[in-house]
Amino acid sequence: MRKISVLLSLIFSFYCFSQNKEILYNFTPQPQSLLTNPGADVKYKWFVGVPLLSGISANVGSTGFDAYSLFANNGVDFTTKVKNAVAATNSKDYVTANQQLEIFTAGFRVGGPESKFYVSFGMYQELDSFIYIPTDLAILALYGNKDYMGKSFDLGDLSVKAELLSVFHVGFNKQMNEKLILGARGKIYSSIFNGTSTHNSGYFVTTQGENLIYDQSIYSNLELNTSGVSKYLNENYDGDIAGDMREDVTKRAFLGGNLGLGLDLGLTYYPKRNIQLTASLVDIGFVSHSKDVESFTFKGTYNFKGVITDFNSAGTVGDAYDDFKKAIPFDTLYHKYTTWRPLKFYSSFQYSFEEERQTECNCATDEDSWYRSAVGGQLFIMSTPKEPMLALTGYYRRRILRGLQMKATYTIDSYSASNIGLGLTTKIGIVNFYALADNLLEYRDVSKANALIFQIGFNIISGGSNK
């Protein structure tokens, strides 16, 4: 029981902070846009992020319910709120979270100011989590099976991924000709903590026979893989969990954890000077877990007949429970396993207008100075354990002042059909500050929001579109 409690605490503690960065994507005044498309059309001579402050982002979202429905101080009993939330969801609803913190980042043009080749590199910490709402299991836990004769409760509803890791990366960006820019980014992942349970299956069904006898069948194929948390699950562990975790995070973040490799690919293409197409694949990668691994399985088949109150008509409740434990044992295993990073696909179309005079700008270093405004659309797709996550975004970009640009977005996704976002970036001298926020209409009462996204940061930039 202690192991289950600790695991739940670790996994659900991740849900305090969706992965779509629709405002940052193709917002090229920001060097951080290279993390969403290594083939972005950037014009900086060089940039350096302020350590620990260049990129701070947190995204959280849920479909089917919001925090207000569970925690509102409205006199409704919490159990009733939980039942209402379960009734409003299905097995395709989910809660997802992503948090990133850039430790350091930098980039520079290789071969002089006229070079078409750009290199960027850095390190960031990322927390990633995704859980599908286990609707059938929640109904079974809340109501039991008495009123659900003949219903097959799907144990495969249980699907969860949670990971804390650091990422070391280096990217290469080259303008191949006047129309095409290509980019790639290599990554080394160092996993700090991981919990994955995504390929589950099974069922629990009860049917009514004669003379109040019930036929009940359980088939369970459940498995939870973990790495980096075994000592906290040990029944004899009595250390300082907060202090020990800080030590583990520090040690494993710098390539001391379970390692993996990744790749990002991207491009920008101009069929005409004022028409732009982009696309990128982010996190084509995996992590191999071999250190501090521990897996928990609940596998087997059990069939029995009996009255519900006695569980098994052939013996006592205790006898039935012993039979059940033998038929579907709870085992602990120690084996290697591999997890795949959530793969993200971005693409965009942009039309630029309000052409400026060449005398107003240094066009050798500033592509946006050709056009004051632009409109466009974006598509985002992310892999999940079940079905891909999709989002469509329309946006408007404008250079407001010489050192101030904005991007306004409207996004339709599984969380909301009224997601309005705004990004602002300013550059004074060589100092750059940016702030991006999504779902602005929900900030009147964030507890009622199904998704929230923000990102802020400071950089030092030489050249670029805010010069």
The SS3 assignment for 202 reads: strand
As a whole number of angstroms, the distance between CA 393 and CA 411 comes to 4
pLDDT in the model for residue 313: 44
User: Helix 78-87 and helix 135-143: axis angle, to 10°?
Assistant: 140
- Which residue do the tokens 């951080």 mark? 32
Please say whether the beta carbons of 254 and 190 come within 8 A: yes
- Phi and psi, residue 76, nearest 5°: -85, 135
Residue 172: other Cβ atoms inside 10 A: 17
| Eight-class DSSP state of 55 | -
- Which residue do the tokens 């084996």 mark? 335
What angle (nearest 5°) sits at the alpha carbon of residue 426, between those of residues 100 and 52?
A: 30
Strands (E), 240-370: 258-272, 275-289, 293-306, 330-333, 337-340, 344-355
pLDDT in the model for residue 364: 42
Element (H, E) at 61: strand 56-62
pLDDT in the model for residue 311: 42
- Phi and psi, residue 269, nearest 5°: -135, 135
pTM of structure: 0.85
pLDDT in the model for residue 319: 62
pLDDT along the chain (467 residues), means of 10: 49 49 92 95 91 87 72 75 79 84 94 84 92 86 81 89 94 94 97 92 84 81 91 78 84 92 97 95 96 92 67 51 80 92 96 72 48 94 88 94 91 85 93 91 72 87 63
Q: Which CATH class name applies to 2-17+22-463? A: mainly beta
pLDDT in the model for residue 167: 96
Please say whether the beta carbons of 424 and 398 come within 8 A: no
Residues found in the chain: 467
Cα→Cα distances 382→8, 20, 91, 269, 415, Å: 25, 8, 18, 23, 14
Phi-psi region of 10 (alpha: psi -120 to 50; beta: other; left: phi over 0): alpha
